[in-house]
Copies of this chain bind each other. A is one copy, B any other.
Amino acid sequence: MKKIYRIGVEATLEVIGGKWKPMILCYLGNGPIRTGELKRNLPKITSKMLTQQLRELESDQIISRKVYSQVPPKVEYALTEEGRTLRQLLVDMAEWGEHRVHERQAAGEEVELVHEEHDGYLNFAPITQDA
């Protein structure tokens, strides 16, 4: 079935719009990462959702999947070239969103941002914490 987007923005949203995709891309920004590491960093994600989101990003050619022939298994995910082109956009989106949250907080609204990105980096140290 032919995919039809009305405007470019929609094509972009389809790629990064999943519930866990921005978070996953954040961690991927720090370099290749194993499944289990991701899972530990995203305590509330289920196996199903994790692999589903990863599979979608992979078939969208945003990330690559490298399987090591070992037991127990070892699989590493990494940003592809195309995935890396998302970085600046994600950084900009993060900035806009952070700015917005701060304004809303200043206006007394009940909003909170758990992780903040720093220095134009989307990444953050892989601190494990529930969120």
Contact = CB atoms under 8 A, between A and B. Distances in A.
Q: Number of contact residues on A: which range applies?
A: 35 or more
A11 B98 contact: yes
Contacts of A22: 6-7, 9-10, 13
Number of copies: 2
A26 interface: yes
A80 interface: no
Chain A interface, >50% SS class: helix
A82 B12 CA distance: 22
A101 to B, nearest CB: 5
Contact of A89 (B8, B85, B93): B93
A13 to B, nearest CB: 7
A5 B111 contact: yes
Interface stretch (A47-55, A71-79, A113-121): A113-121
A26 B7 contact: yes
